[in-house]
Structure 1
Amino acid sequence: MSRRQMEITPELMLRAYRIGLFPMAESRDARTLYWLDPEQRGVIPLEGFHLSRRLARRVRQAPYRITANHAFAAVIAECAAPRPSSTDSWINAEIRALFLALHGQGHAHSIEAWEGERLVGGLYGVSLGGAFFGESMFSRADDASKIALVHLVARLRLGGFTLLDAQFQTAHLAQFGTEEVPRALYKQMLAVAVETPARFIAEPDAALLAAEIEALRSTPSE
């Protein structure tokens, strides 16, 4: 990792993502960002995504209303908010401002899960060519972030994406088939993905979306 030496702009962010770097802050109140380039990268397979029978049932039951790009600012604010597992966050004010700018340019997207009018889960990330860089997710209700992830994967598959970067492997993400990829191999995958034409589809045809989610069940994890 390296300390910031220059002002970070949305354009610099996109150049950094293109070569495999991403920024973080040490804490919510930190004034300095640093770049990360992990030796092992967490990658969620778009082909072979693991959707368990239990979660597939939950998705079919539709306990939440799912939208995309309807509440980006609220999603990133919730991702930065204190949670039982950690009261601090790597999302500081500058990170939020940069991602809001990227969202305004059409490069950053969110998936939201709603219970009535209450936002109960979601995630956000950056799209660049056929690569989607997942940044963070949150959940305030059972399975809300997991269902949001399923909807993200279905949209990415429909839109022609080839790479879903999760940054790091975690026990939570492992249930979806997340793999650790060595840096050199990841950058080979990334170089191909960012040059692949793709489109983030915020509001896909309902029948096509349902069929894509159903297709994810072909390789259940349990």
Structure 2
Amino acid sequence: MNTLSYLNNEQQAFPPTDQALTEPNGLLAVGGDLKPQRLLNAYYNGIFPWFNDNDPILWWSPDPRAIIPVGQLKISRSLRKYLKKQDWHYSINRAFEHVIHACAMPRKAQEGTWITRDIQAAYTALHQQEKAHSIEVWNGNRLIGGLYGIAVGQVFCGESMFHIETNASKAAMVCLQQHLLNANFTLIDTQLVNPHLTSMGAQAVSRNQFMHQLVQLRDKAVASHCWKSKEVSVEL
């Protein structure tokens, strides 16, 4: 039976993901808090928060789920050609707070953002615990694109990306995949299917398929010190 659970600040356990509602798709629980341990518990179990500023905290596990197997990111010939012409450089975990703040800026035709101040504070706390990570794209000293997410074993759970120059968010995805390949990751969880991610290779799988992969990968090791703050090069 699909039911909606209500969490309090003491209750750390989430209900099984197969109890999520079908309408709205994937809504599993309401309430609780955004403390690091609860957030980590959520991602470990295939759940993520998503809510607007005036809403209670909403927890989701949609069906289907969008994923990109590491190594299967689609880099079009035109994108590869475009990026080769740019004098951009890349980094890991050099500017996490700047990236999440930029991701929180409203997009065109959007009145607000789900990346509230509470969300920014919560994920910054996870970053300080070396659990949340960012990829940055720079044009000189100017941050022009990036993304952030959570590492769970050999799964990288992408949260959001941004760009202020054409294709800079796609460049961040290219950098992310190269880094994940080098660090022995297996899967990128992109959560929801959308045209932008589909064009880059995201594929829809059932929640059961995703959960099976997550359970297989969430306790597996990756390369040590792979999230050390550093400049990185991207081969195209």
Preserved contact between residue 158 and residue 201 of structure 1 (Cα < 8 Å): no
Residue of structure 2 equivalent to 1:47: 71
Large movers: runs of 4+ above 3 Å: 2-5, 199-206
Match of 1:156 in 2: 180
* d(CA) in 1 for partners of 2:231, 2:160: 26
Aligned to 1:144: 168
Q: Indicate yes or no: 2:42 matched with 1:8.
A: no
Tell me, yes or no, if structure 1 residue 107 matches structure 2 residue 131.
yes
TM-score, L = length of structure 1: 0.87
Root mean square deviation, CA, Å: 1.8
Corresponding residue of 1:23: 49
Larger relative contact order (Cα-Cα within 8 Å, sequence gap ≥ 6): 1
Q: What is residue 200 of structure 2 aligned with on the other side?
A: 176
Give the conservation status (yes or no) of the 8 Å contact 2:153–2:219.
yes
> Does 2:208 correspond to 1:196?
no
Q: Does the C-alpha gap of structure 1 residues 157 and 75 become closer, same or farther in structure 2, counting only changes over 3 Å? A: same
- 8 Å contact from structure 1 (residues 155, 202) kept in 2: no
Alpha-carbon shift at residue 203 of structure 1 (Å): 6.3
Q: Which residue of 2 aligns with 1:60?
A: 84
Please identify, of 44-53 and 97-106, the stretch whose mean Cα deviation from structure 2 is larger: 44-53
TM-score by length of 2: 0.82
Q: Is the 8 A contact 2:91 2:230 kept in 1?
A: no
Distance, in Å, in 2 between the alignment partners of 1:158 and 1:165 is 18
The residue that corresponds to 1:186 in the other structure is 210
Question: What is the CA-CA distance between 1:6 and the residue it aligns to?
Answer: 2.5
Unaligned runs of 5+ in 2: 1-26
Is the aligned partner of 1:82 residue 2:102?
no
Contact 1:161 1:196 in 2 (8 A): no
**Counterparts in 2 of 1:115 and 1:204: CA distance versus 1, 3 Å:** closer
Change in Cα spacing, 1:18 to 1:165, as seen in structure 2 (3 Å) is same
2:71 and 2:90 map into 1 onto residues whose CA distance is: 22
DSSP-derived class of the 1:4 partner:
strand
Deviation of 1:97 (Å): 1.0
Deviation for aligned residue 1:66: 1.2
Amino acid in structure 2 at the alignment position of 1:136: S
| Paired residues, number | 208
Q: Cα–Cα, structure 1 residues 203 and 6, in superposed 2: closer, same or farther, change >3 Å? A: closer
The structure with more helix, counted as a fraction of residues? 1
Gaps of 5+ in 1: 215-222
Report the CA distance between 1:118 and its aligned residue.
1.6
Note closer, same or farther for the CA distance 1:87–1:5 as it changes in structure 2 (3 Å cut).
closer
Task: Report the alpha carbon displacement of residue 201 of structure 1 after superposing the two structures with TM.
Answer: 4.3
Indicate the SS of the match to 2:69: coil
1:98 aligns with 2:122: yes
